Amino acid sequence: MTRHKTPLSLLVVATAICAALYAVGSYATAYIPSPFGFGQFRPAVIVPALFGALFGPFPAAIGAALGTLIADSTKHGYLYPGSFLASVPGNFVGFFIFGYILKKKFTWTRFISASVITLAVANAMVAFLYMFIFKALYAQALPFVADALTAVAVGLTVYWFVTMLPFVLLVVPPLIRAIANALPSVVSDDLRSNSLKSELPNTSFSLAMIIPGAIMVLMGLLTTFTPLGDYTVGASQLAGKLLIELLYYIGGATLAAVGVFALLRRKK
């Protein structure tokens, strides 16, 4: 099968569009915070995921980095250092990985794997950089207690992961199919062939939901019955322990339920 070489001009345009759409989409939910009092609900993650699948690592990575910087800075009214120090590098690295995995060869199994890896890596980078570099060192807004900061960073990672993964796995595939069908000349032969002819693998999809869901429930149990809960509440200040526990239990149960439902539906 011949490889499709995307013109540089198209990559530049795709990068600009990705950044603009991600900025607008991120800003639209910028005032919906996480239970920790900082960090936002961001379903707009579907934008760089879509561009990473269609155009490869650089449009997705650069578009995600610029988009998040624009959205965060617009919200705060100035060039926001928290975004520059945490969100920009996390988004760039995460979506570069995503685009690189799919550019090598597109299959739906690789798409699911890339989604899980990207959201885990990107969100962990953003959360830990935000808590340790921006909050504790740059802004000095929190006491530098490593255990407590780690607990909140892990909590933010899990929150972002569980709220982003369903959007990526449920919304992006039909968008890829629609664009590959409507605009076949702008996507690679590999993507067009695989995305239109093959189905999303049910077992991989189910496991991508069930395993993170189970991990979230475990995090909830640790928050309820171990000192993790005290560390989390002590460092986040604005968060209530009950709210964080509900995030873990409800989010984890929902992800697992979606995965089990998809698995059972396929077997009927």
Within a domain: residue 233? no
So what's the pLDDT on residue 169?
Answer: 93
pTM: 0.86
So what's the pLDDT on residue 1?
Answer: 41
Report the CATH number that the domain containing residue 102 is assigned in CATH. Answer: 1.10.1760.20
Under 8 Å CB-to-CB from 84, ≥6 apart: which residues? 69
Within a domain: residue 172? yes
So what's the pLDDT on residue 4?
Answer: 58
SS (H, E, C) 214-235: HHHHHHHHHHHHCCHHHHHHHH
Full residue range of the structural domain in which residue 56 is found = 8-196
So what's the pLDDT on residue 118?
Answer: 97
For 41, the 3-state DSSP assignment is coil
Within a domain: residue 116? yes
Within a domain: residue 81? yes
Within a domain: residue 228? no
So what's the pLDDT on residue 143?
Answer: 61
Neighbouring-strand partners of residue 40: 33
Under 8 Å CB-to-CB from 168, ≥6 apart: which residues? 45, 46, 49, 115, 119
For 116, the 3-state DSSP assignment is helix
So what's the pLDDT on residue 112?
Answer: 94
Within a domain: residue 238? no
Within a domain: residue 268? no
C-alpha 24/C-alpha 206 separation (Å) is 31
Residues in the chain with pLDDT < 50?
1-3
Within a domain: residue 221? no
Total domains, the chain: 1
So what's the pLDDT on residue 39?
Answer: 84
